[in-house]
Amino acid sequence: MSKARILVQLDPDRHASVFDAVVAVDAGVDQLLQYASVEPTSVQSLVHGAMFTRGPGDLKHTAIFIGGNQVSAAEQLLEQVRKTFFGPMRVSVMVDPNGANTTAAAAVLAAARHTPLKGATALVLAGTGPVGQRAARLLAGQGATVRVASRDLARAQQACTAIGERIGSDAILHAVATSSPESTGEALSGASIVIAAGAAGVELLNEATRQQATSLRVAIDLNAVPPVGIAGIGVMDTAKEDSGAVCYGAIGVGGTKMKIHKAALQALFTSNTLVLDAEEIFQLGWELEHPSG
């Protein structure tokens, strides 16, 4: 008799995410165990409970999901989870705080449908935030030259350093300041891809500046709350042609994000050795869109 598929949800927030729980159920998880207000010091006992209740041959039927809204806190939980594993005593784990990994993966995949990523120049607006940093990471990892934008140049430089340390010396990253329409236009000059990953209700790129960017091939806005991050793009837009660029709104990208999220959860139960972070989630999404390789 096959073991039930159990997902242990570790959430640093006061209340475990309802969104992540619903997606887990829709992905076919048999039993969902939710833990909220999880701190790094609590991780070992929770992971031991997941590892030591089933034999090594059955550990692929148990997995861990780390979510919540606090990205840095989720990363600390992932570090502690990995430290707790030893030898064959481990279970697969996925980390997607605030949907940052699945959203960034979906955005970069949307761009890749319309222009090669390798050799492209991409501008990531609000590139210092959780989704922005991951989008920049994924783009650079695919061989794009990435301009990481922030209103504060020092923050953009810090993000570039952190991303470079994460993915290696081959990454081509440039910090740019976008504190005005003029500086945003300069940052966009020559770019074929722009991804806006800013806070809800903040316009990062006005319509006139976008339409003047003749090199632009793909424009992706990940903010669904008015005013949107890239003016002139509707939240429902999906590969809509406008001023020479293919445009995506937040909900237009959201369908791909949800497919990736569910597929990643299902993949957890194929092995007990997977660790699904941004790059692994992107690769899974790529395989969904390119099943023959």
Which pLDDT score is estimated for 260? 98
Non-local (6+) Cβ contacts of 262 within 8 A are: 23, 26, 27
Question: For the CA atoms of 98, 68, 78, 85, what is the dihedral angle to 10 degrees?
Answer: -130
Percent of the chain with pLDDT over 70: 99
pLDDT in tens, 158-195: 999 999 998 887 899 999 999 999 999 999 999 999 99
Single-letter amino acid code for the residue at 44: Q
Are the beta carbons of 214 and 244 closer than 8 angstroms? yes
CA–CA distance, 151 with 59 (Å, rounded to integer):
46
**Domain residues of the chain, as ranges?**
6-99+258-289, 101-253
Considering the segment(s) 101-253 as one domain, its CATH architecture is 3-Layer(aba) Sandwich (3.40)
Beta strands in 189-243 (DSSP E): 193-196, 218-221, 238-242
Task: Indicate the pTM of the whole model.
Answer: 0.95
Nearest to 178 by CA among 201, 210, 200: 210
Sign of CA dihedral 195, 187, 172, 245: positive
Radius of gyration of the chain (CA): 19
Nearest to 117 by CA among 96, 99, 135: 135
Return mean pLDDT, the chain.
96
CATH of 6-99+258-289, picked from 3.40.50.1100, 3.30.160.20, 3.40.720.10, 3.40.50.10280, is: 3.40.50.10280
Length of the chain: 293
**178 is written with which tokens?**
């976008």
CA–CA distance, 94 with 234 (Å, rounded to integer):
31
pLDDT in tens, 79-118: 999 999 999 999 999 999 999 999 999 999 999 999 999 9
Phi/psi of residue 100, each to 5°?
-65, -45
How does pLDDT run along the chain (293 residues), one tens digit per residue? 689 999 999 999 999 999 999 999 999 999 999 999 999 999 999 999 999 999 999 999 999 999 999 899 999 999 999 999 999 999 999 999 999 999 999 999 999 999 999 999 999 999 999 999 999 999 999 999 999 999 999 999 999 999 999 888 789 999 999 999 999 999 999 999 999 999 888 999 999 999 999 999 999 999 999 999 999 999 999 999 998 999 999 999 999 999 999 999 999 999 999 999 999 999 999 999 988 76
Single-letter amino acid code for the residue at 257: K
Which pLDDT score is estimated for 2? 80
User: Is 101-253 in the same CATH topology as 6-99+258-289?
Assistant: yes
